[in-house]
Each structure stands twice: as structure tokens, then as C-alpha cells.
Copies of this chain bind each other. A is one copy, B any other.
Amino acid sequence: MNTPTLLSEAELTTLGVKAFQGLGLTQQDAQDVCRVLVMADLFGLSTHGMSRVESYGERLLVKGINPRPNITVERVAPALVKVDGDNGVGPVVGMRSLQAAMDVARECGIGMALARGSNHFGPISPYSLIAADAGFASIIGSNATTTIAPWGGTDERLGNSPLGFGVPNPGGAPFLLDMAMSVVARAKIRSALKRGESIPDTWATNRAGLATTDPKQALDGFLLPIGGHKGYGLALVVDMLAGLLSGAAYLSHVKSWVDAPDEPQNLGHFFILIDTKFLGSGEWLASRMTDFAAILHGSPAADPTKPVIVPGEIELGRMAKQRRDGIPIDAELLTLLRKHAA
């Protein structure tokens, strides 16, 4: 009964589009959302995939997200656009912003979109892959609900903001990196607690802001950023580009997704796109990307069972496999999708 059902990419997309249309979105907007979420599922990022229909749906139903946003794109300079998402579903605003940034980059060589009035926009790697497939290198980020403390501080004032990168490789596997700023996700601490294990003191602090090896205290406290003050700084950079400069909320001005589901979050994103066609031919780029990966793969592995990999390889491998074998969707999610689609 709890065995997941295998759906093809097309089946999951069709069902997802109907579900989001059932939640009030236009067909075009529902397609944009599902393009991002299905790609997340294909990458194996199921927590950021179609399962998000649950939280997005809850907020759509209480009017915390606008199902029919009037998204405006203002070109404030030849290579710079500001996007007002009008509190639309995150991936709708994200896809519109990505498109706008690619449009100006195609003309100017580099282009940037700064989006405000948005919501959780899914993982970053789908945007990076869409950009890479069109020949663009990308730097993309979003701010997020506050869950981490400033370095040395003792209360939530910044988000575990995701930052992603992509570099195209014509005819080959692009480089894709999608990371949040914490050393580990909270789920990993929850697993340690379940197993009764202690955790490294670099993962999290207790409620008083002091490093802890106790998973229970860690879950009451704050995730630690990678590299301490370095990851703290990087998280701030993402929030300044995505939130402060875009005109969105930032830091503790971001409304909690959980505590205030009916209030707009006013999240912000940024998309920096570089059109590689201006830098050299496709052959030139492909040969450098292939050489780059070969140099990394050539380093003898410390653990022979774990060869060196290039970021993106795991996700692209899962995508190829699931395009062939289908995407496992659990019964509960399938029921929810069918309910909204009905």
C-alpha cells in the first residue's frame, strides 16, 4: 500500500499541471512550476520536487500565495531587470526571472534579474540546467525563512539561503552545484538522534549559540554554516543580492512560512547569466570542460570505492536513470495530486 508508484516524466508532469491548475494557476504557470519540480524529482531531490504541492497548496488555499499573479518585468538598464513576482508561486516567478535574465544576457553577454515578491522557488539546479542547456553559465540564489543565527549570535536572523552555479558543456555533462550554507541539513541531525548517536561539534549549536555534540540540543538550537564565519558571510551575500538589492524582504523581515501562512513572504531571488557564445566556440568550451572533468577524475581516490566526482554528476546520473525507469511517487503524494487535479 505504501509502495511508490513509478510515473514517467510525462505522466508526473501532466498530473502536476492539472493539480496546480486545480489550485488556481493558469496552464502556463502550472507548466512552469512542474518543469522545475519534476526536474527536482528527476535529480533525486524529492524533498524539493512535486512533494512541494503540499506546502505550496496549503498557502495557495489560505491566500498566502497569489495563484494569478500579475508579474512585471522592468528593464532598468540594458543588462539588468527587476521582477515583481506579485506573490506568485515561487517557480513561476523563478522561471519568469530566469527567462528575463537570459534574454538580456543573450544581447549583452551577461545579464541579471532581481526578483522580489516571491516565495520558495524550488531547488536551484533545475534553473541552472535549463540555463546550461541554452549555453549560459549561471549564478543563482534565493533568500529563505530565517532558521540560522548570525555567526556568534543566539537567535534566528538569517536563512539557510541556497546558492547555485552551472556551466554549460555542449554535447556533454554540464557542471551543476546547488548548495545551502549549513554544514548539514536538519534531517541529518534528526537521524543521529533517532540512532542515539552524537554529532560532530561543527554541525550545530545549542539554543545558547554554543557548539554541541548532542543532537537533541542541536535541534533546539541553530545549524552552523560551512566554514564558520565564511559560510555566515556567504549566506549574507546571497541575502543581500536576492533580498536587499532586489527590493524584497531580507533577514528577519522575511515572514515565516509556517507561523504566518496567509501573509506574503516577499522572498527575493537573483539570477546572473553569462552567455558563453561570446567567450569562444562550442567546441572550445566542450574541450575545456571535458579536460577540466578529466583532471579531477584523474586524482587517485583516498577511498577506492569512492572515486572523485564533479558536482552535478550524481544528479544527472539519477535523471538519466529515472527518465528510463520512471520516478517513484509515494501513495500519499499521488492521492494529494489527484485530489487537487480532480
**Residues on A facing B (Cβ under 8 Å):** 76-80, 82, 107-112, 114, 137, 139, 149-155, 157-158, 165, 167, 175, 177, 179, 183, 200, 202, 205, 208-210, 226-227, 229-234, 236-237, 240-241, 244-247, 250-252, 272, 274-276, 278-280, 288-289, 292, 295-296, 298-303, 306-311
Among B82, B155, B245, B298, the residue within 8 A (CB) of A299 is B155
Closest-CB distance, A308 to chain B (whole angstroms): 4
In the complex, the answer to whether B289 meets A230 with C-beta atoms within 8 Å is: no
In the complex, the answer to whether A209 meets B302 with C-beta atoms within 8 Å is: yes
In the complex, the answer to whether A274 meets B306 with C-beta atoms within 8 Å is: no
A38 to B127, CA, bound (A): 41
Among B154, B236, B272, B298, the residue within 8 A (CB) of A301 is B154
In the complex, the answer to whether B308 meets A151 with C-beta atoms within 8 Å is: yes
Among B110, B157, B205, B311, the residue within 8 A (CB) of A302 is B205
Q: Given contacts A79-B108, A79-B111, A227-B227, are A245 and B311 in contact (CB under 8 A)? A: no
Q: List 25 A-B contacts (CB under 8 A).
A: A78-B79, A79-B79, A79-B109, A79-B111, A80-B109, A82-B279, A108-B110, A110-B111, A110-B272, A112-B274, A114-B279, A139-B139, A150-B299, A154-B302, A157-B295, A175-B240, A177-B236, A179-B233, A202-B202, A209-B301, A226-B230, A236-B311, A240-B292, A246-B279, A251-B292
Q: Tell me the interface secondary structure of chain A in the complex.
A: mixed
Among B137, B152, B240, B241, the residue within 8 A (CB) of A307 is B152
Closest-CB distance, A120 to chain B (whole angstroms): 21
Closest-CB distance, A108 to chain B (whole angstroms): 4
New A-B pairs, 14, CB < 8 Å, besides A77-B278, A157-B295, A157-B299: A76-B109, A78-B107, A151-B308, A152-B301, A152-B302, A152-B307, A153-B300, A165-B237, A167-B244, A179-B234, A183-B227, A200-B202, A244-B292, A272-B272
